[in-house]
Structure 1
Amino acid sequence: MRIHHFETRILLPASPAHVFPFFADAANLERITPPELSFRILTELPIAMAEGTLIDYKLRLFGVPFRWKTRIRKWAPPRCFVDEQIRGPYRLWVHTHTFEPRPQGTLMTDRVRYALPLYPLGEMGAPAIHRLIQWIFWYRARALVGLIPEVGPPSDGVSAPGGHGGA
């Protein structure tokens, strides 16, 4: 199994105590996910977030519907939280969200460790999956501009890729 890494940062113009509640509300995930993925939360809302919380979703990837289940592995408001895939398209998916105070607001960092299914055959799709993940986080950064005033541009080179593969 090969582990891949993705990281992106964005500067948000408010304190972590102000920004964290937006990301702690699971319903907001639908608001910052590209509509092309037909992403829907299946778990009844509102979801009480804590370590061990399970969340079920459904989405479409390249037109193929599937379900995804995550567990909150770590919950430390307003500094960080970690969600991990329990069931879904990846062999491994661990997403760490950190919120660091800065003089101009909050530096939010997303770090994803993931492994593709069907190793080693699945590795042939690694470049396309990386571009897909890049596109999703680019979309999220752009969506946040409309949801949190004066959001700064992403700082890791997440920019509009030349195209997208289609979570």
Structure 2
Amino acid sequence: MLMALARETLEAKIFGTNPPNIDLSTLPPPLQEPCGAFVTLKRRGQLRGCIGQIEARWPLAVTVARMAVAAAFHDPRLPSLTPDEWKDVELEISVLSPLARLRDASQLRVGTHGLYLRKETQAGLLLPQVPLEQGWDAETFLRQTCRKAGLPPEAWKDPAAEIFVFTAEVIHEK
């Protein structure tokens, strides 16, 4: 249901038609619950957009629809998705668990945990599937999350850095 919602919402935005109406009362309870989620778009195996909401601000169905549009049109790293690209786009949805503070880096589980690291005004997040795709060990995962936050690679060792882990249920298009 989430994948269909994301795809229909994007299709409507790309081609200028009416987006699907999200009637929460007709959805299964888990889709009505507030939940964080990320939507990743890939075209021919290349990243085409990825944006998400860490905090559980909106019902999951609403979060996914909003993040799908944000990934396609508001990822600052990439140009907006075009109608010509649409037929080649694959979607991936990551439904996030709540954040949990990581107090000991040895408890980080590559392939299970995603990372959210913040220090002062800078923050970076990498989904659990990223280190598996890249072949990273735990320390490389921590260093790359620092890099994503615009921090030095060893910033994760600084006591002022806050490190959080989360899990994600990842939904792939079939």
- The bucket for the TM-score relative to the shorter chain is under 0.3
Please report the TM-score for the alignment, with normalisation by the length of structure 1: 0.26
Greater helix fraction, Structure 1 or Structure 2: 2
TM-score by length of 2: 0.26
Choose 1 or 2 for highest CA Rg. 2
RCO higher in structure (CA 8 A, sep ≥6)? 1
The structure richer in strand per residue is 1
